[in-house]
Amino acid sequence: MAVLLEELVKSIEMWLKLIKKPQEYIDPTLDPVLLVPGIAGSILNAIDKKTGRTERVWVRILGADHEFCDKLWCRFDPSTGRTANLDPDTSIEVPQDRYGLYAIDTLDPDMVIGSDCVYYFHDMIAEMLSWGYQEGKTLFGFGYDFRQSNRLQGTMECFTQKLESIHTASGGKKINIISHSMGGLLVKCFMALHSDIFEKYVKNWIAIAAPFQGAPGYITSALLNGTSFVHGWEERFFISKWSMHQLLIECPSIYELMGCPDFQWEHAPVLEIWKEKSNSNGESNGESTVTLESYSPLEAVSVYELALSNNKVNYNGEKISLPFNQELLSWANKTREILRHAKVPEKVKFYNIYGTNYKTPHSVCYGSENAPISDLQQLPFIQSNYISVDGDGTVPAESAKADGLNAEARVGVPGDHRGIICDRHVFRVVKHWLRADHDPYYNPINDYVILPTAFDIERHHEKGLDVISLKEEWEIVSEGQDGEENAASGKPKVGSLSVSHVGGDKTTWEEAHATVIVHPKSEGKQHVELNAMSVSASA
pLDDT of residue 466: 84
Write out 236-292 in H/E/C secondary structure. HHCCCHHHHHHHHCCCHHHHCCCCCCCCCCCCCCCEEEEEEEECCCCCCCCCEEEEE
What single-letter amino acid sits at 298? L
Return the sign of the alpha-carbon dihedral for residues 436, 438, 440, 445: negative
Q: How far are the Cα atoms of 94, 155, 165 from residue 162, in angstroms, in the given order? A: 13, 10, 5
Name the catalytic one among 42, 149, 170, 181.
181
Q: Is 399 a catalytic residue?
A: no
pLDDT of residue 250: 96
pTM of the model: 0.80
Rg for the chain, CA atoms, rounded: 29
CB count within 10 Å of CB 468 equals 14
Dihedrals phi, psi of 162, to nearest 5 degrees? -65, -45
pLDDT of residue 12: 38
**SS3 for 29?**
coil
pLDDT of residue 440: 66
How would you label 203-239 residue by residue, b for 16+ Cβ within 10 Å and e otherwise? bbbbbbbbbbbbbbbbbbbbbbbbbebbeeebeeebb
Residues 6+ apart with CB under 8 A from 2: none
- DSSP string spanning 435-472? T-S--TTEETTTTEEEEEEEEEEEEEEETTEEEEEEEE
Dihedrals phi, psi of 39, to nearest 5 degrees? -65, 135
DSSP state for residue 60 in the 8-state scheme: -
Name the catalytic one among 417, 423, 432, 447.
417
Are 17 and 122 a contacting pair, CB within 8 Å?
no
Are 451 and 441 a contacting pair, CB within 8 Å?
yes
Q: Is 179 a catalytic residue?
A: no
pLDDT of residue 111: 67
Q: Where are the alpha helices (DSSP H) in 391-534?
A: 397-401, 424-433, 484-489
**Which residues of the chain fall short of a pLDDT of 70?**
1-23, 111-115, 229-238, 280-286, 439-457, 474, 477-489, 504, 539
Name the catalytic one among 108, 392, 403, 447.
392
Q: Is 417 a catalytic residue?
A: yes
Q: Which domains does the chain have, with CATH numbers?
A: 23-272+297-446 (3.40.50.1820), 452-478+492-538 (no CATH)
pLDDT of residue 7: 46
